[in-house]
Chain A
Amino acid sequence: MTDITVPQDLWDSEDEGVILTWVYQTGATVAKGALLAELMVEKAQLELVAPASGKLTILAPPDTIVRKGTVIGRID
Protein backbone atom coordinates (compact mmCIF):
# COMPACT_ATOMS: atom_id res chain seq x y z
CA MET A 1 0.00 0.00 0.00
CA THR A 2 1.47 3.35 -1.04
CA ASP A 3 0.06 6.73 -0.15
CA ILE A 4 -0.26 9.22 -2.94
CA THR A 5 1.08 12.35 -1.32
CA VAL A 6 1.47 15.77 -2.84
CA PRO A 7 5.28 15.80 -3.19
CA GLN A 8 7.31 18.33 -1.24
CA ASP A 9 9.20 19.25 -4.38
CA LEU A 10 6.15 19.68 -6.60
CA TRP A 11 6.23 23.43 -6.06
CA ASP A 12 8.51 25.92 -4.34
CA SER A 13 6.31 28.02 -2.09
CA GLU A 14 4.17 27.00 0.87
CA ASP A 15 1.01 28.11 -0.95
CA GLU A 16 -2.00 25.89 -1.18
CA GLY A 17 -2.77 24.18 -4.44
CA VAL A 18 -5.89 22.68 -5.95
CA ILE A 19 -6.55 19.38 -7.65
CA LEU A 20 -7.73 20.06 -11.19
CA THR A 21 -8.32 16.58 -12.59
CA TRP A 22 -7.72 12.92 -11.91
CA VAL A 23 -6.80 10.96 -15.00
CA TYR A 24 -7.96 7.65 -13.57
CA GLN A 25 -10.86 6.73 -11.33
CA THR A 26 -10.97 4.72 -8.13
CA GLY A 27 -10.48 1.04 -8.98
CA ALA A 28 -8.27 1.66 -12.01
CA THR A 29 -4.98 -0.15 -12.39
CA VAL A 30 -2.16 2.34 -12.78
CA ALA A 31 1.51 1.98 -13.60
CA LYS A 32 4.30 3.58 -11.62
CA GLY A 33 5.33 6.86 -13.21
CA ALA A 34 2.08 7.32 -15.08
CA LEU A 35 0.35 10.67 -14.92
CA LEU A 36 -2.31 10.44 -12.25
CA ALA A 37 -3.55 13.94 -11.63
CA GLU A 38 -3.08 17.58 -12.53
CA LEU A 39 -2.73 20.18 -9.81
CA MET A 40 -2.48 23.93 -9.92
CA VAL A 41 -0.58 26.33 -7.69
CA GLU A 42 -1.13 29.99 -8.50
CA LYS A 43 -1.11 29.84 -12.27
CA ALA A 44 1.22 26.89 -12.69
CA GLN A 45 -0.22 23.58 -13.84
CA LEU A 46 1.62 20.63 -12.33
CA GLU A 47 1.66 16.90 -12.89
CA LEU A 48 1.47 14.26 -10.22
CA VAL A 49 2.64 10.79 -11.16
CA ALA A 50 1.91 7.41 -9.64
CA PRO A 51 4.49 6.53 -6.95
CA ALA A 52 3.83 2.81 -7.45
CA SER A 53 1.90 0.37 -9.60
CA GLY A 54 -1.37 -1.05 -8.46
CA LYS A 55 -5.00 -0.27 -7.84
CA LEU A 56 -5.97 3.37 -7.32
CA THR A 57 -8.20 4.79 -4.62
CA ILE A 58 -8.92 8.50 -4.80
CA LEU A 59 -9.31 10.22 -1.45
CA ALA A 60 -9.37 13.88 -2.56
CA PRO A 61 -11.61 14.60 -5.55
CA PRO A 62 -11.10 17.36 -8.12
CA ASP A 63 -11.44 20.92 -6.80
CA THR A 64 -10.02 19.91 -3.39
CA ILE A 65 -7.56 22.43 -1.96
CA VAL A 66 -4.35 20.69 -0.93
CA ARG A 67 -0.95 21.41 0.55
CA LYS A 68 2.37 19.75 -0.03
CA GLY A 69 2.27 16.55 2.00
CA THR A 70 -1.50 16.12 1.75
CA VAL A 71 -2.45 12.51 1.12
CA ILE A 72 -4.82 12.55 -1.81
CA GLY A 73 -5.06 8.87 -2.66
CA ARG A 74 -3.72 5.39 -2.27
CA ILE A 75 -2.31 2.66 -4.46
CA ASP A 76 -2.77 -0.92 -3.35
Chain B
Amino acid sequence: MAQPAPTGGSDRTLTMARAGREAVIAEMRKNPNIFVIGEDVAKLGGVFGTTVGMAEEFGAQRVIDTPISETGFIGIATGAAMAGMRPIIEIAFVDFIGVCFNQIFNFAAKTHYMSGGQFKMPLTMMIGYGGGYNDAAQHSQSLIGTLAHVPGIRIVTPADARDAKGLMHTCLRDDNLTIWMVHKRIWGLGWLGLPLKTALSVVPEEEYTIPFGQARIWREGKDVTLVGYGITTHHNLAAADKLAAEGISAEVLDLRSIVPLDRDAIMKSVSKTGRLVVVDEDYMNCGVTAEVLAVVAERNPKALQAPAVRIANPDVPIPFSRPMEDFALPDADKVVAAAKQTLKAS
Protein backbone atom coordinates (compact mmCIF):
# COMPACT_ATOMS: atom_id res chain seq x y z
CA MET B 1 0.00 0.00 0.00
CA ALA B 2 1.36 3.38 -0.97
CA GLN B 3 2.14 5.96 1.65
CA PRO B 4 2.35 9.63 0.94
CA ALA B 5 6.13 9.86 0.80
CA PRO B 6 8.06 12.60 2.58
CA THR B 7 8.71 15.25 0.01
CA GLY B 8 10.54 17.82 2.02
CA GLY B 9 7.78 20.24 2.70
CA SER B 10 4.95 19.61 0.24
CA ASP B 11 1.65 19.65 2.08
CA ARG B 12 -0.37 16.44 2.00
CA THR B 13 -4.13 16.56 2.13
CA LEU B 14 -5.41 13.37 3.68
CA THR B 15 -8.73 11.78 4.48
CA MET B 16 -9.56 11.04 8.12
CA ALA B 17 -9.08 7.34 7.46
CA ARG B 18 -5.54 7.83 6.19
CA ALA B 19 -4.60 10.29 8.89
CA GLY B 20 -5.83 8.03 11.66
CA ARG B 21 -4.07 5.06 10.12
CA GLU B 22 -0.85 7.08 9.82
CA ALA B 23 -0.88 7.67 13.56
CA VAL B 24 -1.57 4.03 14.33
CA ILE B 25 1.21 2.84 12.03
CA ALA B 26 3.70 5.34 13.48
CA GLU B 27 2.95 4.25 17.02
CA MET B 28 3.05 0.56 16.08
CA ARG B 29 6.46 0.99 14.49
CA LYS B 30 7.77 2.49 17.72
CA ASN B 31 6.01 0.30 20.25
CA PRO B 32 5.97 -3.47 19.72
CA ASN B 33 3.31 -3.87 22.40
CA ILE B 34 0.64 -2.28 20.24
CA PHE B 35 -1.56 -4.68 18.31
CA VAL B 36 -4.83 -4.30 16.48
CA ILE B 37 -7.65 -6.74 17.05
CA GLY B 38 -11.10 -6.93 15.55
CA GLU B 39 -13.29 -8.35 12.81
CA ASP B 40 -12.02 -8.24 9.23
CA VAL B 41 -9.04 -6.04 10.20
CA ALA B 42 -6.29 -8.19 8.74
CA LYS B 43 -7.24 -9.75 5.42
CA LEU B 44 -9.84 -7.16 4.48
CA GLY B 45 -8.15 -4.12 6.01
CA GLY B 46 -11.30 -3.21 7.89
CA VAL B 47 -14.87 -2.88 6.68
CA PHE B 48 -14.24 0.87 6.47
CA GLY B 49 -10.63 0.60 5.35
CA THR B 50 -9.18 1.57 8.72
CA THR B 51 -6.40 -1.01 8.66
CA VAL B 52 -5.61 -1.33 4.97
CA GLY B 53 -2.05 -2.55 4.45
CA MET B 54 -1.35 -3.08 8.12
CA ALA B 55 -1.43 -6.86 8.25
CA GLU B 56 1.12 -6.86 5.44
CA GLU B 57 3.46 -4.63 7.40
CA PHE B 58 2.99 -5.94 10.95
CA GLY B 59 1.94 -9.55 10.42
CA ALA B 60 -0.88 -11.72 11.70
CA GLN B 61 0.31 -11.58 15.31
CA ARG B 62 -0.14 -7.84 15.51
CA VAL B 63 -3.15 -7.35 13.24
CA ILE B 64 -5.57 -10.02 14.35
CA ASP B 65 -8.76 -11.15 12.65
CA THR B 66 -11.13 -12.38 15.31
CA PRO B 67 -14.18 -14.58 15.22
CA ILE B 68 -17.45 -12.70 15.62
CA SER B 69 -17.03 -12.69 19.38
CA GLU B 70 -17.03 -9.15 20.70
CA THR B 71 -17.48 -10.09 24.34
CA GLY B 72 -14.66 -12.57 23.98
CA PHE B 73 -12.10 -10.50 22.14
CA ILE B 74 -12.76 -7.30 24.03
CA GLY B 75 -12.34 -9.25 27.23
CA ILE B 76 -9.15 -10.78 25.90
CA ALA B 77 -7.77 -7.41 24.80
CA THR B 78 -8.63 -5.97 28.19
CA GLY B 79 -6.61 -8.62 29.95
CA ALA B 80 -3.72 -8.09 27.57
CA ALA B 81 -3.81 -4.39 28.42
CA MET B 82 -3.74 -5.14 32.12
CA ALA B 83 -0.65 -7.28 31.53
CA GLY B 84 1.38 -4.69 29.66
CA MET B 85 0.23 -4.81 26.04
CA ARG B 86 -1.45 -1.91 24.30
CA PRO B 87 -4.30 -3.20 22.19
CA ILE B 88 -6.32 -1.27 19.66
CA ILE B 89 -9.77 -2.80 19.32
CA GLU B 90 -11.69 -2.08 16.18
CA ILE B 91 -15.47 -2.11 16.32
CA ALA B 92 -16.63 -1.18 12.85
CA PHE B 93 -20.14 -0.13 13.88
CA VAL B 94 -20.78 1.37 17.32
CA ASP B 95 -24.11 -0.45 17.31
CA PHE B 96 -22.22 -3.68 18.00
CA ILE B 97 -21.16 -2.54 21.46
CA GLY B 98 -24.52 -3.82 22.56
CA VAL B 99 -23.16 -7.31 22.26
CA CYS B 100 -20.21 -6.71 24.58
CA PHE B 101 -21.13 -3.70 26.64
CA ASN B 102 -20.45 -5.49 29.89
CA GLN B 103 -16.80 -5.93 29.00
CA ILE B 104 -16.51 -2.24 28.23
CA PHE B 105 -18.53 -0.55 30.91
CA ASN B 106 -18.32 -2.95 33.81
CA PHE B 107 -14.82 -4.26 33.40
CA ALA B 108 -12.55 -2.14 31.22
CA ALA B 109 -13.95 1.20 32.38
CA LYS B 110 -13.88 0.33 36.07
CA THR B 111 -10.78 -1.80 36.56
CA HIS B 112 -8.31 0.99 37.23
CA TYR B 113 -10.65 2.48 39.79
CA MET B 114 -11.75 -0.70 41.49
CA SER B 115 -8.14 -1.85 41.78
CA GLY B 116 -7.18 1.42 43.40
CA GLY B 117 -4.90 2.19 40.48
CA GLN B 118 -3.05 -1.14 40.53
CA PHE B 119 -4.10 -2.13 37.05
CA LYS B 120 -3.84 0.38 34.24
CA MET B 121 -6.05 0.06 31.19
CA PRO B 122 -4.01 1.18 28.17
CA LEU B 123 -6.69 0.24 25.69
CA THR B 124 -7.89 2.17 22.64
CA MET B 125 -11.06 1.41 20.76
CA MET B 126 -11.45 2.58 17.19
CA ILE B 127 -15.15 2.85 16.42
CA GLY B 128 -17.23 3.96 13.46
CA TYR B 129 -20.64 5.49 14.02
CA GLY B 130 -23.40 7.41 12.37
CA GLY B 131 -26.11 7.17 9.76
CA GLY B 132 -27.56 9.09 6.88
CA TYR B 133 -27.06 6.49 4.19
CA ASN B 134 -30.04 4.25 4.93
CA ASP B 135 -28.39 1.53 6.96
CA ALA B 136 -31.37 1.42 9.36
CA ALA B 137 -31.76 1.23 13.10
CA GLN B 138 -29.06 -1.26 14.02
CA HIS B 139 -26.23 0.07 11.86
CA SER B 140 -26.65 3.83 11.99
CA GLN B 141 -26.47 4.85 15.61
CA SER B 142 -24.06 7.23 17.32
CA LEU B 143 -24.40 6.08 20.94
CA ILE B 144 -21.86 8.65 22.08
CA GLY B 145 -24.27 9.67 24.84
CA THR B 146 -24.53 6.07 26.01
CA LEU B 147 -20.75 5.66 26.14
CA ALA B 148 -20.12 9.09 27.64
CA HIS B 149 -22.49 8.36 30.48
CA VAL B 150 -20.24 5.73 32.07
CA PRO B 151 -17.27 6.92 34.14
CA GLY B 152 -13.87 5.58 33.18
CA ILE B 153 -13.95 6.11 29.42
CA ARG B 154 -12.30 8.93 27.46
CA ILE B 155 -14.01 9.67 24.17
CA VAL B 156 -12.80 11.76 21.25
CA THR B 157 -14.62 12.50 18.02
CA PRO B 158 -12.33 14.14 15.46
CA ALA B 159 -14.06 15.92 12.61
CA ASP B 160 -11.15 16.33 10.20
CA ALA B 161 -7.99 14.54 9.19
CA ARG B 162 -5.64 16.74 11.15
CA ASP B 163 -7.54 16.18 14.37
CA ALA B 164 -7.93 12.49 13.57
CA LYS B 165 -4.18 11.95 13.57
CA GLY B 166 -3.42 14.09 16.60
CA LEU B 167 -6.15 12.57 18.69
CA MET B 168 -5.13 9.04 17.73
CA HIS B 169 -1.57 9.74 18.91
CA THR B 170 -3.02 11.07 22.15
CA CYS B 171 -5.20 8.00 22.63
CA LEU B 172 -2.36 5.58 21.95
CA ARG B 173 -0.13 7.30 24.48
CA ASP B 174 -2.75 7.39 27.22
CA ASP B 175 -2.81 4.61 29.79
CA ASN B 176 -6.58 4.60 29.96
CA LEU B 177 -9.57 3.26 28.08
CA THR B 178 -9.87 5.67 25.18
CA ILE B 179 -12.40 5.56 22.39
CA TRP B 180 -11.59 7.26 19.09
CA MET B 181 -14.80 7.58 17.14
CA VAL B 182 -15.31 8.74 13.58
CA HIS B 183 -18.62 9.30 11.82
CA LYS B 184 -18.70 6.94 8.87
CA ARG B 185 -19.67 9.64 6.42
CA ILE B 186 -16.55 11.70 7.09
CA TRP B 187 -13.88 8.96 7.02
CA GLY B 188 -13.18 9.74 3.37
CA LEU B 189 -14.74 6.61 1.95
CA GLY B 190 -16.07 7.41 -1.47
CA TRP B 191 -18.93 4.98 -1.18
CA LEU B 192 -20.47 6.88 1.69
CA GLY B 193 -20.38 10.10 -0.29
CA LEU B 194 -17.65 11.94 -2.14
CA PRO B 195 -15.23 13.02 0.58
CA LEU B 196 -16.47 16.08 2.38
CA LYS B 197 -13.95 18.78 1.60
CA THR B 198 -14.16 20.16 5.12
CA ALA B 199 -13.16 16.79 6.59
CA LEU B 200 -10.01 16.64 4.50
CA SER B 201 -7.07 18.59 5.80
CA VAL B 202 -3.38 19.15 5.40
CA VAL B 203 -1.75 16.73 7.82
CA PRO B 204 1.75 17.30 9.13
CA GLU B 205 4.17 14.46 8.53
CA GLU B 206 5.54 14.63 12.04
CA GLU B 207 3.77 13.21 15.05
CA TYR B 208 1.73 15.52 17.21
CA THR B 209 -0.91 15.24 19.86
CA ILE B 210 -4.09 17.09 20.68
CA PRO B 211 -5.01 17.05 24.36
CA PHE B 212 -8.16 15.51 25.71
CA GLY B 213 -10.79 17.99 26.76
CA GLN B 214 -9.92 20.62 24.19
CA ALA B 215 -12.67 21.80 21.89
CA ARG B 216 -11.90 23.70 18.69
CA ILE B 217 -13.42 26.81 17.19
CA TRP B 218 -13.63 26.14 13.46
CA ARG B 219 -15.14 29.49 12.66
CA GLU B 220 -15.45 32.56 14.83
CA GLY B 221 -18.71 34.44 15.04
CA LYS B 222 -20.62 36.77 17.28
CA ASP B 223 -24.34 36.19 16.86
CA VAL B 224 -24.93 32.54 17.72
CA THR B 225 -22.88 29.55 18.87
CA LEU B 226 -23.30 26.32 16.93
CA VAL B 227 -21.98 23.39 18.95
CA GLY B 228 -21.46 20.00 17.36
CA TYR B 229 -19.03 17.14 16.90
CA GLY B 230 -18.13 14.76 14.12
CA ILE B 231 -20.42 15.21 11.18
CA THR B 232 -22.54 17.84 12.90
CA THR B 233 -19.53 20.16 12.93
CA HIS B 234 -19.74 19.99 9.15
CA HIS B 235 -23.49 20.63 9.19
CA ASN B 236 -22.72 23.63 11.40
CA LEU B 237 -20.08 24.91 8.99
CA ALA B 238 -22.46 24.68 6.07
CA ALA B 239 -25.13 26.38 8.14
CA ALA B 240 -22.71 29.15 9.09
CA ASP B 241 -22.08 29.82 5.41
CA LYS B 242 -25.80 30.09 4.73
CA LEU B 243 -26.33 32.29 7.76
CA ALA B 244 -23.46 34.55 6.75
CA ALA B 245 -25.21 35.19 3.44
CA GLU B 246 -28.08 36.58 5.51
CA GLY B 247 -25.82 38.69 7.69
CA ILE B 248 -25.79 36.35 10.66
CA SER B 249 -22.38 35.58 12.15
CA ALA B 250 -22.27 32.07 13.60
CA GLU B 251 -19.47 30.63 15.69
CA VAL B 252 -18.79 26.96 15.01
CA LEU B 253 -17.53 25.12 18.08
CA ASP B 254 -16.41 21.54 17.53
CA LEU B 255 -16.45 19.67 20.85
CA ARG B 256 -13.83 17.22 19.52
CA SER B 257 -13.52 15.64 22.97
CA ILE B 258 -16.72 14.37 24.52
CA VAL B 259 -15.16 13.00 27.67
CA PRO B 260 -13.63 15.08 29.09
CA LEU B 261 -15.82 17.88 27.79
CA ASP B 262 -14.37 21.35 27.27
CA ARG B 263 -16.92 23.14 29.41
CA ASP B 264 -14.86 26.34 29.51
CA ALA B 265 -14.92 26.61 25.72
CA ILE B 266 -18.68 26.14 25.65
CA MET B 267 -19.21 28.80 28.30
CA LYS B 268 -16.77 31.21 26.68
CA SER B 269 -18.50 31.01 23.32
CA VAL B 270 -22.02 31.31 24.71
CA SER B 271 -20.97 34.26 26.87
CA LYS B 272 -19.82 35.96 23.68
CA THR B 273 -22.80 35.23 21.45
CA GLY B 274 -25.66 34.77 23.92
CA ARG B 275 -27.32 32.21 21.67
CA LEU B 276 -26.84 28.47 21.54
CA VAL B 277 -27.71 25.69 19.12
CA VAL B 278 -26.41 22.22 19.91
CA VAL B 279 -26.42 19.67 17.10
CA ASP B 280 -26.04 15.94 17.56
CA GLU B 281 -26.93 12.92 15.42
CA ASP B 282 -27.34 10.80 18.55
CA TYR B 283 -30.62 10.42 20.43
CA MET B 284 -31.89 13.59 22.10
CA ASN B 285 -32.91 12.28 25.49
CA CYS B 286 -30.22 12.47 28.20
CA GLY B 287 -27.52 12.95 25.58
CA VAL B 288 -24.62 15.20 24.67
CA THR B 289 -26.94 18.07 23.77
CA ALA B 290 -28.39 17.98 27.27
CA GLU B 291 -24.93 18.01 28.81
CA VAL B 292 -23.92 21.09 26.82
CA LEU B 293 -27.04 22.91 27.98
CA ALA B 294 -26.32 21.83 31.55
CA VAL B 295 -22.95 23.60 31.37
CA VAL B 296 -24.65 26.91 30.61
CA ALA B 297 -27.51 26.37 33.04
CA GLU B 298 -25.11 25.60 35.87
CA ARG B 299 -22.46 28.23 35.24
CA ASN B 300 -24.34 31.22 33.96
CA PRO B 301 -27.84 30.82 32.52
CA LYS B 302 -28.02 34.61 32.16
CA ALA B 303 -25.46 34.34 29.40
CA LEU B 304 -28.30 33.08 27.20
CA GLN B 305 -30.32 35.82 25.56
CA ALA B 306 -32.78 33.32 24.16
CA PRO B 307 -33.72 29.71 24.88
CA ALA B 308 -31.15 27.27 23.58
CA VAL B 309 -32.18 24.92 20.78
CA ARG B 310 -31.17 21.28 20.54
CA ILE B 311 -31.15 19.36 17.30
CA ALA B 312 -30.81 15.61 17.66
CA ASN B 313 -32.57 12.38 16.76
CA PRO B 314 -36.09 12.81 18.18
CA ASP B 315 -35.79 9.62 20.19
CA VAL B 316 -36.78 7.18 17.49
CA PRO B 317 -34.92 4.15 16.19
CA ILE B 318 -33.30 5.37 12.99
CA PRO B 319 -35.74 4.53 10.20
CA PHE B 320 -34.64 2.92 6.96
CA SER B 321 -36.80 4.77 4.47
CA ARG B 322 -35.18 7.92 3.15
CA PRO B 323 -37.86 10.52 3.99
CA MET B 324 -38.08 9.24 7.54
CA GLU B 325 -34.34 9.00 8.06
CA ASP B 326 -33.88 12.52 6.69
CA PHE B 327 -36.54 13.70 9.11
CA ALA B 328 -34.85 12.05 12.09
CA LEU B 329 -31.27 13.15 11.47
CA PRO B 330 -29.77 16.66 11.62
CA ASP B 331 -28.71 18.65 8.59
CA ALA B 332 -27.48 22.15 7.77
CA ASP B 333 -30.94 23.49 6.99
CA LYS B 334 -32.25 22.44 10.39
CA VAL B 335 -29.30 24.22 11.98
CA VAL B 336 -30.02 27.40 10.02
CA ALA B 337 -33.65 27.33 11.14
CA ALA B 338 -32.62 26.76 14.75
CA ALA B 339 -30.09 29.59 14.69
CA LYS B 340 -32.72 31.95 13.35
CA GLN B 341 -35.12 30.78 16.00
CA THR B 342 -32.68 31.82 18.73
CA LEU B 343 -32.30 35.20 17.13
CA LYS B 344 -36.05 35.79 16.91
CA ALA B 345 -36.84 34.72 20.45
CA SER B 346 -35.35 37.55 22.50
Residues on A lying within 8 angstroms of B by beta carbon are 18, 20-25, 28-31, 33-35, 38, 40, 43, 45, 47, 49, 62-63
Contact = CB atoms under 8 A, between A and B. Distances in A.
B1 A29 contact: no
Contacts of B173: none
A71 B49 CA distance: 27
Nearest to A30: B7
Contact of A21 (B6, B11, B195): B195
Contact of B188 (A20, A43, A49): A20
Contacts of A22: 13
A20 to B, nearest CB: 5
A35 B10 CA distance: 13
A34 B6 CA distance: 9
B99 interface: no
Interface SS of chain B: loop
Interface SS of chain A: strand
Nearest to B202: A25
B13 A23 contact: yes
A31 B5 contact: yes
Contacts of A21: 13-15, 188, 195, 200
Contacts of B242: none
B4 interface: yes
Given A18-B194, A21-B15, A33 B188 contact: no
B190 A20 contact: yes
Interface residues of B, number: 24
A20 B18 CA distance: 13
A20 B195 CA distance: 6
Given A33-B2, A34-B4, A47-B1, A23 B14 contact: yes
A50 to B, nearest CB: 8
A63 B11 contact: no
B190 A34 contact: no
Top 7 nearest A-B pairs (CB, nearest first) are: A40-B190, A28-B10, A34-B5, A35-B2, A43-B191, A31-B5, A20-B190
A49 B2 contact: yes
A40 B193 CA distance: 11
Contact of A29 (B7, B13, B189, B190): B7
A20 B1 CA distance: 17
A34 B13 CA distance: 13
Contacts of B195: 20-21, 62
A26 to B, nearest CB: 11
Interface in B15-46: 15
Contact of A25 (B4, B11, B188, B191): B11
Given A21-B200, A35-B3, A45 B189 contact: yes
Nearest to A28: B10
A30 B9 CA distance: 10
A26 B209 CA distance: 29
A49 B4 CA distance: 9
B1 to A, nearest CB: 7
Contacts of A47: 1-2
Contacts of A45: 49, 189-191
Given A23-B14, A24-B13, A49-B2, 17 more contacts: A20-B188, A20-B190, A20-B195, A22-B13, A23-B4, A24-B11, A29-B8, A30-B5, A33-B5, A34-B4, A35-B2, A35-B3, A40-B191, A45-B189, A47-B1, A62-B197, A63-B194
A24 B190 contact: no
B13 A20 contact: no
